[in-house]
A and B are shown apart, each in its own frame.
Chain A
Amino acid sequence: MQLTRRDLFVGGATLATAASFGTSAEAQTRAETLRQVTGNSVNTLDPTMPGSTREAFGISVNVYDRLVSFGRKRSGSGWIFDPDTITGELAERVVTSADGMTFTFHLKRDARFHDGTPVTAEDVKWSLDRHVSARSLASAQVQTGGWTRPDQFKIIDEYTVEAKVERPDRLALPNLCTLYCIVINSKLAKRHATADDPWAQEWMKTNTAGSGAYTVETFRPGEQVILRRNDAWKGGPLPFFRRVICQTIPEAATRASLIERGDADLSIDLQASDIPTLVNRGRVKLVSTPQFNAFTMVAFNTRVAPFDNLKLRQAIAAAMPYQDIFKAALFERGAELFGASWQGTPPESKFPQPLPLRTDIARARALLAEAGYPNGLDTTFSFNVGSATVSEPMAALLKESLGRIGIRVEIQKLPDAQISTLITEKKVPFLTETSIAWLPSTDYFFRNFFTGDQRWNYSSWNNAEINALTAQARYEQNAAEYDRLCKRMISILAEEVPVIMLWQPNQDAVMPPTVDGYTYQYHRQVDYRDLRRA
């Protein structure tokens, strides 16, 4: 091509206009920019990378699309995710076969990846194959829904994919809603795959190949991620915010003042003790949601002495000062999971729900004597430094209360990496932790947190009946029978006390009054697509 003076002039003029448009667009975007401040950092753009942080999950939800996702519903003054409503994201509709084993996904025909290539069945197949085959976080998750092999996913035509499980699994479809099951631009990713790395995992850590509502403009791990809206997004209604900044501010006090002065628009990890003061000063809005898919507990190691002793566990459960801990440690910012009045069979099958736990020192003394420890015993109570604001007052109250029945508790506060190691090696006798399930169904909770050898079974509980019940409930299609099985699991838990259930902590999202639509999501991060500025 030959350049003439005229071409240059026209080109120059175009550039000049573009530049001036650029600045004027920049100037009006503060209202259309959302600035989230968080204490943690985004460490990868591929949510399935082993070791990815929760903040990285949050970014990936907005950058990638899945076939399907959870809807949302109103709860109090805010919104929460709704695991019972499944809506299409890249799939226009999903057809489930009568036997509940085959799912047919019909893709949206106008959906495009960020680079403009159409989203096809081939991309979906490649992505799902990756989630079951690659060494990533995804494979452990999706196998809880019965997805284990690539041959379960079949291309029907360019815009139709069929997925099949071997047994009708309650969590098959919900698993495909989780943030690991992203749909990847397979042509783009394959260009960066190597013989050692057939799924382009290395490349996807710092690059994206998605079709989501936002594209990544800047990614600086440990500092900030800046997203720009993808105006061609077809996964749902176009989000309000054109630009999103997710910035790492380690100091909680600084995050609080940024929000209060209106310089930042959202934080979900302020210090619980700061929040009442902030709200009282009246310049911010608080959306407080009990994390209904989480629970905080005190766990016993049920496989080794002394806590393999049922009576001893029951004694401690009767000596716990529930109300005092709830007030002093959590400032009552959550939903109680103790103090229920039912006996035997719970009134409903959902979990977590309040269990019949209450403080009764006389009963605790009697049980302790029955357990064979009339003179009490010595033990250690552990928690991680990361949870110290809540766990420290809890430990102090627990020590005092157990002291009254003769149990001498030594408090052990450990760095997070150290306590995770000890827990995995099952070397901690008595501890507090908080567990979260992405898919809040009762059998999933029990399967993940009360069976097996993995770390999340904090009490190392191995109860033959629970093991059988969870295996059965997973494939149970009859709702009444499923409820019966779940109620039985909950009664056993209440009777055997492998853990003492305490509460579901609130997630406190603080924002200026103008920001609206915040939704509590199963991943406990921000879905920017929900938000708008009034």
Chain B
Amino acid sequence: MVGVAPLARRAGRRLLSSLPALFGVVIFTFLLMRVLPGDPAVFFASGPNAGQAEIEEIRRQMGLDKPIPEQLVRYLWDIGHGKLGRSMGTGQPVVTDLANRLPASLELTFTALLLALSLALPLGIIAALRPNSAVDHAVRLLCTLGVCVPTFVSGLLFIYAFYYLLGIAPDPTGRIDIFASQPPNVTGFLLIDSALAGDWEAWWAAASQLILPACTMALFVLAPLARMTRASMLAVMTSDFIRTGDALGLSRRRVVLVYGLRNALLPVITIMGIVFSTMLGANVLVEKVFSWPGVASYALDALLASDYAPVQGFVLLMAGIFVLVNLTVDILYGLADPRISIE
């Protein structure tokens, strides 16, 4: 087993080496936003009597009256001091907005990923054990369906069926029933916060709001996870050590789950990291459909309004999360296969 101290040292080195990439992302988004057509000052100066004076005022507030190099230096200075500017759309500092909204997105993404994994792994394994059987085809069909139906379609269908027709789901508006009391904010994850507060009514309210959007997202990412599990298991199950295990009379369960699955997990973990990052950024449709107050819909609104600061903040946040996810995936590699270590 790898000791904790060297692991932390390596992780630290990895994080440090990702700084230039993050810096590049910052500069790139900064310039990209300014190249896009559409002047945010004009867009937000929409009062009934907004004239040139008001446009100038907003431009000054957003710091856009300065030359671009100076804007960039000020922006970098702000980032160095933990500030990301102010969003015109919500009127709040971007850091506050992101801090309020990231837990919502993370809670949704983690739940969806867990749900997807708990379905995809067994399905992938079963399909791999009986390739080209009816079960394999059924799994393939399910995965294809999941990928083919866009999330906003499945989301709206879920809402129509479970909320509008059957009435068993709560109204699909946000993280918790609007009439329920919200648990005190500790981590920002409602499930954890309400559990900490011992408020099981709130926990149930949050969980029942979470289930439809999480299912919608899980369905969409089922395919890559299940297909990768199947392919990887197929390769492993024909290996020598599986045959040896079978020959030694080990139980089928032990052969498949311990020797087979553990060796097949590496590519699945890789895919999982990618799927997670994609879900976090690309779940904007799910967030919109379910009025989920997450970071992706926040960034989209800002982008449509040419509101620079939130978009830049969002991209930086995503880049940071990507770095962390990659690091986590590499550490998980080491756990799945001790021959690999991050270096």
Contact = CB atoms under 8 A, between A and B. Distances in A.
A325 B172 CA distance: 36
Contacts of A223: 174, 293
Interface string B138-181: 00000000000000000010011001100100011110001100
A437 B90 contact: no
Most A-side CB within 10 Å, residue of B47, B55, B304: B47
Contacts of A51: 44-46, 58, 88, 91
Contacts of A254: 159, 172-173, 289-291
Interface in A235-255: 245, 247-251, 253-254
A454 to B, nearest CB: 4
B199 interface: no
A144 B39 contact: no
Contacts of B38: 415, 417-418, 420-421
B314 interface: no
A456 B52 CA distance: 11
B39 A420 contact: yes
B82 interface: no
B298 interface: yes
Interface in A414-440: 415-418, 420-421, 424, 436-438
Contacts of A135: 57
B291 A251 contact: yes
Contacts of A137: 47, 49-50, 54
A145 B7 CA distance: 70
B53 interface: yes
Nearest to A257: B164
B178 A416 contact: no
B164 A421 contact: no
A205 B305 CA distance: 20
A421 B289 contact: no
Interface stretch (A42-50, A108-116, A369-377, A495-503): A42-50
A148 interface: no
Contacts of B288: 250-251
A52 B45 CA distance: 9
Contacts of A260: 164
A303 interface: no
A44 B50 CA distance: 17
Contacts of B92: 206, 221
A441 interface: no
A253 B156 contact: yes
B51 interface: yes
Contacts of A436: 48
A140 interface: yes
Nearest to B293: A223
A247 B46 contact: no
Categorize the interface residue count of chain A. Answer: 35 or more
B200 to A, nearest CB: 16
Contact of B291 (A35, A43, A221, A248): A248
B90 A144 contact: no
A44 B57 CA distance: 17
A87 to B, nearest CB: 22
A13 B48 CA distance: 54
Interface in B24-69: 37-40, 42-55, 57-58, 61
Interface string A253-268: 1100110110110000
Contacts of B304: 415-417
B43 A438 contact: no
Interface in A205-227: 205-206, 220-224
A417 B52 contact: no
B89 interface: yes
Given A221-B92, A245-B178, A258-B171, A421 B37 contact: yes
B297 interface: yes
A248 B50 CA distance: 25
Interface string B84-112: 00001111100001001000000000000
Contact of A424 (B55, B97, B171, B306): B55
Contact of A263 (B43, B100, B171, B298): B171
Given A51-B44, A254-B159, A35 B178 contact: yes
Interface string A316-344: 00000000000000000000000000000
Contact of B43 (A249, A257, A421): A421
Most B-side CB within 10 Å, residue of A35, A206, A424: A424
A50 B61 contact: yes
B91 A44 contact: yes
A416 B54 contact: no
A140 B91 contact: no
A424 B56 CA distance: 12
A256 B44 CA distance: 28
Nearest to B300: A250
A420 B42 contact: yes
B164 A261 contact: yes
A122 to B, nearest CB: 28
Interface in A356-398: none
A506 interface: no
A504 interface: no
Given A144-B49, A263-B171, A416 B91 contact: no
Interface string B174-195: 1000110000000000000000
B44 A50 contact: yes
Interface in A447-506: 448, 453-456
A257 B159 contact: yes
Contacts of B89: 41, 43, 221-222
Nearest to B62: A51
Interface string A83-114: 00000000000000000000000000000000
A222 B305 CA distance: 14
Interface in A27-48: 30, 33, 35, 37, 41, 43-44
A291 interface: no
Contacts of A437: 48
A141 interface: yes
Contacts of B301: 222
B54 A50 contact: yes
Contacts of B179: 30, 33
Nearest to A253: B156
Contacts of B47: 50, 52, 137, 140-141
Contact of A50 (B57, B90, B173): B57
Interface in A116-154: 135, 137, 140-141, 144
B90 A417 contact: no
Nearest to B305: A417
Nearest to B182: A218
A325 to B, nearest CB: 25
A222 B42 CA distance: 21
Contacts of A416: 43, 304-305
Given A43-B90, A137-B54, A224 B178 contact: yes
A421 B48 contact: no
B293 A421 contact: no
Contacts of B290: 254
Contacts of B173: 37, 247, 249, 254, 258
B37 A418 contact: yes
A62 to B, nearest CB: 18
Contacts of A222: 89-90, 97, 293, 298, 301
Enumerate the 9 nearest inter-chain pairs by beta-carbon distance, A residue then B residue, closest first: A417-B38, A221-B90, A51-B44, A417-B43, A418-B38, A417-B306, A140-B49, A421-B39, A137-B47
16 contacts: A33-B179, A51-B88, A140-B50, A141-B48, A141-B49, A144-B49, A221-B92, A222-B298, A224-B174, A248-B291, A257-B163, A261-B164, A416-B43, A420-B39, A420-B43, A421-B37
Given A420-B43, A454-B51, 17 more contacts: A41-B90, A43-B89, A50-B57, A50-B61, A137-B49, A140-B49, A140-B53, A221-B92, A223-B293, A247-B174, A249-B173, A250-B297, A258-B171, A424-B42, A436-B48, A454-B50, A455-B50
